[in-house]
A = this chain, B = another copy of it.
């Protein structure tokens, strides 16, 4: 029966040292896998650690090393499917490497908001930051502010230059558009994402490239907001025009909404109009008609981001990833003209 009154202080490195009959520094060496430790001594220390159920205090360690063993995620994505999936990949990969992850969700993408978020993460002394801020504006802000903390930004640029990373959006969009062209469509319109999203721009570029190369007419893209609701209204709007036979939509949510809008307006997919989306969200294969779309591996993107970031942090050779491939998933919503 122990004295309940005495505050249960966690055992420290010195408690372990006392029990093992060594100095606290020796314990520290065992914890950090220092080479010059006699196996016998190491065993004694490990025993003591086990007996006391000792766990190193991360705050103390962070204080003295000014390294927190923690990565930060700065996310400026409302809850889009893609980025959210990447976050899971990031967390898993980080955890595997012994890092914790602190997430910071941003609603606004103003320079001030991004700045203060970045400073917040810096205060937490994260060792590195993965930025998921697919907006053009955010990207510039980041470039502009000289952060001393290593960071990798996800899905912001089309190429990978050591600090940014993404699937090959342009190629994916191009493939999707070429698929429609191959089906005999020559009047293909595009519903794009918000103007300041880099991915939206890339997907639009891929669309334009494919059309130009095939000498087909391009249409001014319609700017959406990624939501299914917008897609619906766009569908109703487009129903008045009949100068197209196919639509390439910048993401699946809008594509699904679009098909709904068409349906309500009496336009059949794919008989009257073919539709291709982007992202391959889980329900894309099951909506009616099933949606042709471009698949990309978001979790893998997250894992790569972590590898890139850790290489930077550790000063190792930064791995050069080629752009992540996308895959076209052909389904019912796209059919020959």
Interface residues of A, Cβ cutoff 8 Å to B: 55-60, 62-63, 66, 68, 70, 79, 84-85, 88, 91-92, 95, 100-105, 107, 119-120, 122-125, 227-229, 231-232, 253, 256-257, 259-260, 263, 281-283, 285-288, 290
Q: How far is the CA of A252 from the CA of B256 in the complex (A)?
A: 15
Least Cβ distance of A287 to chain B in Å? 5
**A256 B228 Cβ-Cβ under 8 A:** no
Q: How far is the CA of A50 from the CA of B91 in the complex (A)?
A: 35
**B105 A103 Cβ-Cβ under 8 A:** no
In the complex with contacts A79-B84, A282-B227, A287-B260, A100-B125 CB distance below 8 A:
no
Least Cβ distance of A179 to chain B in Å? 22
In the complex with contacts A102-B101, A124-B58, A228-B286 CB distance below 8 A:
yes
Chain B residue nearest to A64 (CB atoms) is B59
- Given A56-B123, A58-B124, A91-B104, 12 other A-B residues pairs in contact with their CB atoms under 8 A: A55-B122, A59-B59, A59-B68, A59-B125, A79-B85, A91-B103, A101-B103, A231-B286, A256-B283, A260-B285, A281-B283, A288-B288
Q: How far is the CA of A209 from the CA of B123 in the complex (A)?
A: 52
The 5 closest A-B pairs by CB, nearest first: A59-B62, A260-B286, A288-B288, A59-B63, A228-B286
Partner of A105, one of B56, B91, B105, B285: B91
Which residues of the other chain, B, contact A232 by a CB distance below 8 angstroms? 286
Which residues of the other chain, B, contact A124 by a CB distance below 8 angstroms? 58, 70, 100
User: Copy number of this protein in the oligomer?
Assistant: 2
Which residues of the other chain, B, contact A259 by a CB distance below 8 angstroms? 286, 288
Which residues of the other chain, B, contact A103 by a CB distance below 8 angstroms? 91, 101-103
Partner of A95, one of B60, B104, B231, B260: B104
Least Cβ distance of A282 to chain B in Å? 5
Q: How far is the CA of A84 from the CA of B91 in the complex (A)?
A: 14
Q: How far is the CA of A257 from the CA of B62 in the complex (A)?
A: 49
**B283 A253 Cβ-Cβ under 8 A:** yes
Q: How far is the CA of A241 from the CA of B286 in the complex (A)?
A: 21
Least Cβ distance of A269 to chain B in Å? 9
What are 13 inter-chain pairs, A to B, with CB distance below 8 A? A57-B63, A79-B84, A84-B84, A91-B104, A101-B103, A228-B285, A229-B285, A229-B286, A231-B286, A232-B286, A253-B283, A256-B283, A287-B287
Least Cβ distance of A55 to chain B in Å? 5
**A260 B102 Cβ-Cβ under 8 A:** no
**B70 A79 Cβ-Cβ under 8 A:** no
Partner of A288, one of B58, B62, B85, B263: B263
Least Cβ distance of A100 to chain B in Å? 6
Which residues of the other chain, B, contact A123 by a CB distance below 8 angstroms? 55-56, 58
Partner of A228, one of B257, B260, B282: B282
**A92 B105 Cβ-Cβ under 8 A:** yes
**A282 B260 Cβ-Cβ under 8 A:** no
**B283 A102 Cβ-Cβ under 8 A:** no
In the complex with contacts A124-B58, A228-B283, A88-B105 CB distance below 8 A:
yes
